[in-house]
């Protein structure tokens, strides 16, 4: 069985959430219609609304929202997509009468003296009521949203059908403290979040708590892994630096002994020189602990510098 994606975990929890109050159901249906719906105009002023989704679970939620809020039962059929490997889409279609009632219930259309007039997508109060804001953003994400696996990258996006809707989503997110941005991607307006904390806050806002917990686990694991790698790299760098210094010190001692012999070295320098040649991988601190009496790291370093200075003088003399 294929492992469920992180986006799938988020969606699975959201489609099973309680449908909420009547106003919230309206806004979720509205956002879903804007991102996963279609409006067809027919002759004689007739209209027909439909939802299309590849998720059977989401189709079930849309059907329940329509039934419980508007007492509508859409017809359901499936469409195959040969170019996408035979992938199926579920279509929920309302009849002409229900389509008109649906549009008026969502404040997208009004009828006056037998004439239809289309209005803005949703009234402004959606921007101030937190319950409706959550429902609206949840519907938008379920309709055309995506969130990447946080183990690889931090990215959440919602594809908007037009610039006005994208700006509305950004406005809603900003009212919840989320710094969302818009990018024009090949003619489509994409609202996105890049920061891990902002993505976690958004998923919490729309009710994907299981996904947030999983995200936090991944963030902690990545933090621990990064710290371990940082320490390992630091230790490797320090070890390489230490070995390079040891090689230089050993070469200095060998060159100086070749010139003047061990016996002509001062006793303190001879003691350190012997230890360095015998323990090439030891740190300065370890060398100091081997001396009798023990010597600190700076003291050992000073004696090794004296050996180098003595060698330089010998090389400069005729």
Q: Tell me how far apart the alpha carbons of residues 89 and 78 are, in angstroms, rounded to a whole number.
A: 6
Q: Tell me how far apart the alpha carbons of residues 136 and 134 are, in angstroms, rounded to a whole number.
A: 5
Task: Report the pLDDT value the prediction gives residue 1, as an integer from 0 to 100.
Answer: 45
Strand 115-118, strand 109-112: pairing:
antiparallel
Query: Nearest CA to 126 among 164, 172, 158?
Result: 172
Q: How confident is the model at residue 290 (pLDDT cuts 50, 70, 90)?
A: confident
Tokens of 154: 């931090």
Tokens 């159901």 -> residue: 25
Q: What are phi and psi of 76, to 5 degrees?
A: -125, 135
Task: Report the pLDDT value the prediction gives residue 85, as an integer from 0 to 100.
Answer: 62
> 21-36 pLDDT, tens per residue?
888 899 999 999 999 9
Give the residue-averaged pLDDT of 201-219. 87
Q: Which H, E and C letters describe the chain, residue by residue?
A: CCCCCHHHHHHHHHCCCCCCCHHHHHHHHHHHHHHHEEEEEEHHHEEEEEEEECCHHHHHHHHHHHHHHHCCCCEEEEEEEHHHCCEEEEEEECCHHHHHHHHHHCCCEEEECCEEEECCCCCHHHHCCHHHHHHHHHHHHHHHEEECCCCCCCCEEEEECCHHHHHHHHHHHHHCCCCCEEEEECCEEEEEECCHHHHHHHHHHCCCHHHHHHHHHHHHHHHHHHHHHHHHHHHHHHHHHHHHHHHHHHHHHHHHHHHHCHHHCCHHHHHHHHHHHHCCCCCHHHHHHHCCCCCCHHHHHHHHHHHHHHHHHHHHCC
Mean pLDDT of the chain: 82
Q: How confident is the model at residue 316 (pLDDT cuts 50, 70, 90)?
A: low
Q: Tell me how far apart the alpha carbons of residues 277 and 253 are, in angstroms, rounded to a whole number.
A: 8
Whether the pLDDT of residue 84 is over 70: the answer is: no
Task: Report how far Cα 196 is from the mean position of its chain's Cα atoms.
Answer: 5
Query: Whole-prediction pTM value?
Result: 0.68
Write the burial class of residue 36 (CB in 10 Å: 0-12 exposed, 13-18 middle, 19+ buried).
buried
User: All domains of the chain, ordered by start, with CATH?
Assistant: 6-207 (3.10.28.10), 246-316 (no CATH)
């Amino acid at each position: 069985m294929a492992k469920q994606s992180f986006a799938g975990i988020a969606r699975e929890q959201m489609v099973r959430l309680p449908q909420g109050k009547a106003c919230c159901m309206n806004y979720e249906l509205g956002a879903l219609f804007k991102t996963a719906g279609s409006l067809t105009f027919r002759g004689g002023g007739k209209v027909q609304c439909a939802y299309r989704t590849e998720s059977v679970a989401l189709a079930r939620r849309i059907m329940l929202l329509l039934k419980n809020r508007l007492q509508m039962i859409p017809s359901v059929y499936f469409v195959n997509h040969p170019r996408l490997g035979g992938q199926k889409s579920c279509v929920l279609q309302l009849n002409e009468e229900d389509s008109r009632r649906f549009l008026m219930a969502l404040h997208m259309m009004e009828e006056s003296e037998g004439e239809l007039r289309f209005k803005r997508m949703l009234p402004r109060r959606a921007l101030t009521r937190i319950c409706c804001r959550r429902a609206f953003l949840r519907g938008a994400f379920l309709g055309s949203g995506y969130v990447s696996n946080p183990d690889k990258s931090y990215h959440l996006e919602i594809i908007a059908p037009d610039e006005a809707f994208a700006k509305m989503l950004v406005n809603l997110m900003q009212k919840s403290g989320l710094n969302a941005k818009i990018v024009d991607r090949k003619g489509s307006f994409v609202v996105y979040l890049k920061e891990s904390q902002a993505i976690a806050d958004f998923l919490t806002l729309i009710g994907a708590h299981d996904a947030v917990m999983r995200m936090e686990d991944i963030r902690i694991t990545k933090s621990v892994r990064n710290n371990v790698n940082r320490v390992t790299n630091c230790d490797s760098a320090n070890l390489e630096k230490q070995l390079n210094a040891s090689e230089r010190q050993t070469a200095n001692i060998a060159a100086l002994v070749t010139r003047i012999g061990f016996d002509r070295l001062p006793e303190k320098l001879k003691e350190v020189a012997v230890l360095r040649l015998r323990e090439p991988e030891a740190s300065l601190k370890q060398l100091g602990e081997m001396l009798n009496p023990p010597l600190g790291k700076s003291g050992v370093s000073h004696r090794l510098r004296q050996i180098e200075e003595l060698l330089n003088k010998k090389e400069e003399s005729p």
